[in-house]
A = this chain, B = another copy of it.
């Protein structure tokens, strides 16, 4: 089969980690007899520099005409002082909205080999960590009306509508069915009308999934529970703002933030795939970046958008093998590791495919 992939290399270490990951994908193509046609498009800082906008219309059009989008990382200090709507982040928020990517899947899992990198005590980690955060991505206070009242004040509207909550809830329940069978919906229903509404819709959708367990936590409590008892979680279902905070907290607890992929999905199979870490401008261009989160994002792309789950398993297994062989980029290096650069890490993974 022939697949069209739109590629946004992005800023900082973006190009290096994406190039390493494309080579992994090419090798998968060879092995399983697929071709991947890449079209490179611009967003974020690179687009600001080239076209004076963080999200050119051409980028949106080409992404829409593709089977999936692979993204490196956007942003950097160079563009930090631009006005809000001209900054790289505006490109990221814009592309999520333009492509209708309402479901952000962020697995926070611990790699057994990197267990020591977790900030949590060993007793708490126990036999590992494996939480999937399902974050709504195109609604909430992120996209509600914004107002600036001169020098006197400012506001953002937090809101959710029924169809928005229904569809993200279904993604969470469907995911839980394939995992541990439990959804924890996180809100602030003791204070927010939006959260009370969110909770009522989640309760309705839950009836379609009698075999999935559901519970509800307030966001302040969820932030605490993640730290003291992460094993109680299987799938965390939450809105855009709380999901931003909790998914980052959860990833950090694994100690493996350079390893964690993410998928942003819409209706149907189309999706955008990116590592959860940032563009790390301080090490850009030095062949020091860790490509694993991007390689694992490619695995998610194979599984979710292209329906190639054997191929996805193969990539994930190759990453595990490479870690087991002791290869590490600088960010995850321990005392006895074999430190390699970004390019070599990619090659080692390919050799394990």
Contact = CB atoms under 8 A, between A and B. Distances in A.
A153 B157 contact: no
Given A227-B227, A227-B252, A192 B119 contact: no
Interface stretch (A39-47, A241-249, A289-297): A241-249
Given A141-B192, A154-B196, A224-B251, 4 more contacts: A151-B162, A155-B160, A158-B158, A242-B245
A193 interface: yes
A144 interface: yes
A153 B142 contact: no
Contact of A147 (B142, B193, B246): B193
Contacts of A120: 119-121
Nearest to A90: B190
A50 interface: no
A159 interface: yes
A313 to B, nearest CB: 30
Interface in A241-271: 241-242, 244-249, 251-253, 257
Interface of A: 84, 87, 89, 93, 118-121, 124, 141-142, 144, 146-149, 151-162, 188, 190-194, 196-198, 219-221, 223-224, 227-228, 241-242, 244-249, 251-253, 257
Nearest to A223: B249
A197 B154 contact: yes
Contacts of A121: 118-121
A176 to B, nearest CB: 24
Given A119-B228, A120-B119, A154 B193 contact: yes
Nearest to A251: B224
B161 A153 contact: yes
Contact of A249 (B87, B147, B191, B249): B249
Contacts of A151: 162
Contacts of A224: 248-249, 251-252, 257
Nearest to A122: B121
A194 B154 contact: yes
A161 B152 contact: yes
B249 A193 contact: no
Nearest to A252: B224
Contacts of A162: 151-153
Contacts of A84: 190, 193, 196
A152 B201 CA distance: 10
Contacts of A248: 220-221, 223-224
Closest 8 pairs between A and B when the two form their complex, measured CB to CB: A155-B159, A154-B197, A153-B161, A146-B193, A224-B252, A220-B248, A223-B249, A154-B193
